[in-house]
Structure 1
Amino acid sequence: MRIIIVDDDKLVCDSLKIILGAQPGIEVVGLGSSGDDAVRLFREIAPDVALLDIQMPGRDGLSAAREILAEDPAARVVFLTTFSDDEYIVAALKLGARGYLIKTDVRAIPPALTQVMEGKRVLEGKPADSVDFSVGVEEAESHERTGAFVALTDREFEVVRLIAEGLDNKEIAATAYMGEGTVRNHISSILAKLGLRNRTQIAIAYLKA
């Protein structure tokens, strides 16, 4: 498979090029450091997979993926993330990205890319085909509070629904008429009650319900 890697950290790019390029069946055909680079490389090279960092100075990976997927809905875009990127990941997946991989878990990247080439969606290196992140607002609002979600308050469940819609904390605060600090507190409570690690897992649990 032919892949491009776009990350504003040159060390990450160079390291991944060496590690992935040494894998049988993987060829790194382009490197970039910005969202603009990602769009340009995708147009020029038409890689099998685009590995994009989410947060980059200037144009970020989310914006680049939006343009790439608008031009080619079948594009295989996979995000490289850190756990601090949780606020962006659900929105990225709703765009049509094929998944996300943790930058520091290098060993999980090659097999995950193979799964992507097989048409699967990968989250932290694990397949997640049963999750439909394209669910619309009306469908999300129709979800009933069942299973573990019954332990949540009305406001907490509202935050869960908005997370599943791909809203970040600022957007949730504006939509639900609460402060961003309150949103963060609700998310912390939700994670504790549901035994989850991050907001992406909250969205997955909600969309699987």
Structure 2
Amino acid sequence: MIRVVIVDDDRLVTESLKTILEASEEITVTGTGHSASEAVSLFLQERPDVLLSDIRMGESTGIQAAKEILRQVPDAVILLLTTFSDDDYIREALELGVKGYLIKQNLSAIVPAIRAVSNGQSVFGTEIVGKLNEFIHQPSSSSEKPKCIELSEREEAILLAVANGKNNKEIAQSLFLSEGTVRNYISQLLDKCQVRDRTQLAIFYYQEYQ
């Protein structure tokens, strides 16, 4: 069962999302909130598998909540949901290591997205994907791009698979490896590329190989 916390400043939206998610037999909603501060406190209290959070919430944002959560729990899985397709938000979400960013109107994509991020994949809606190549090559707020050194052919194959959104099981099957071996390779890649997670590995691939 995938445990989810939902945070949106519109209470009707929160209840609607809860209804949609709990219609799936594989998801349970363990808490709901309506502000960025509640997002942080609920996540730390419930430790859900996925936090589903709106972006714009009054005086604060889901980005600020994500930043604080990831500071305390670096492996937190956060899926941002918004009505705003804003480049600055998308770029900041990517740099933080948020696992997904979806446009709120695409309700049919929310359950599959939660399923995917809970399995270690990164998910971005079609509206977002269309912009990735445009701003991923623009200078970011980071001082310098990370550089990988001396990647083996196998490491490059695994990096490509991560960039394509494959989880460890799918990578293992396609490359005839065990899942434990794939995990070890990904740990090596994170270290070599000096990045924090799979999302940033995917970004690195698009920066260096596209």
1:21 is displaced (CA, Å) by 0.8
Partner of 2:69: 68
Whichever residue aligns with residue 73 of structure 1, its letter is: P
Question: Are 1:109 and 1:125, in contact at CA under 8 Å, matched by a contact in 2?
Answer: no
The answer to whether residue 111 in structure 2 is matched with residue 105 in structure 1 is: no
The answer to whether residue 93 in structure 2 is matched with residue 92 in structure 1 is: yes
1:204 is displaced (CA, Å) by 10
- Sequence identity (%): 46
- Tell me, what secondary structure is at the counterpart of 2:31? strand
Question: Are 2:85 and 2:103, in contact at CA under 8 Å, matched by a contact in 1?
Answer: no
Q: Measure the CA separation in 2 of the matches of 1:108 and 1:84.
A: 16
1:5 is displaced (CA, Å) by 0.7
Partner of 1:50: 51
- Tell me, what secondary structure is at the counterpart of 1:74? coil
Partner of 1:23: 24
- Quickly say closer, same or farther: Cα 1:39–1:138, change in 2 above 3 A: same
Root mean square deviation of aligned Cα: 3.1
Question: Are 1:3 and 1:48, in contact at CA under 8 Å, matched by a contact in 2?
Answer: yes
Once the two structures are superposed, the pairs formed by residues 183-198 of structure 1 within 5 Å of their partners are none
Q: Spell out structure 1 runs of 4+ moving beyond 4 A.
A: 133-136, 203-206
Whichever residue aligns with residue 43 of structure 1, its letter is: L
1:85 is displaced (CA, Å) by 3.4
Q: Per-residue displacement from partner, 1:11-54 (whole Å, max 9, x unpaired)? A: 21110000111111100111111000000100110000001111
Question: Are 1:35 and 1:63, in contact at CA under 8 Å, matched by a contact in 2?
Answer: yes
- TM-score, length of structure 1 as denominator length: 0.62
- List gaps (5 residues or longer) in structure 1: 141-202
- TM-score, length of structure 2 as denominator length: 0.61
1:93 is displaced (CA, Å) by 1.8
Partner of 2:143: 137
Partner of 2:169: none
Q: Measure the CA separation in 2 of the matches of 1:108 and 1:71.
A: 29
- List gaps (5 residues or longer) in structure 2: 147-202
Q: Measure the CA separation in 2 of the matches of 1:5 and 1:24.
A: 17
- Tell me, what secondary structure is at the counterpart of 1:137? coil
- Quickly say closer, same or farther: Cα 1:5–1:122, change in 2 above 3 A: same
Q: Measure the CA separation in 1 of the matches of 2:3 and 2:126.
A: 19
Q: Measure the CA separation in 1 of the matches of 2:205 and 2:118.
A: 25
- Tell me, what secondary structure is at the counterpart of 2:88? helix
Once the two structures are superposed, the pairs formed by residues 108-123 of structure 1 within 5 Å of their partners are 108-123=109-124
- Quickly say closer, same or farther: Cα 1:26–1:103, change in 2 above 3 A: same
Whichever residue aligns with residue 86 of structure 1, its letter is: D
Partner of 1:153: none
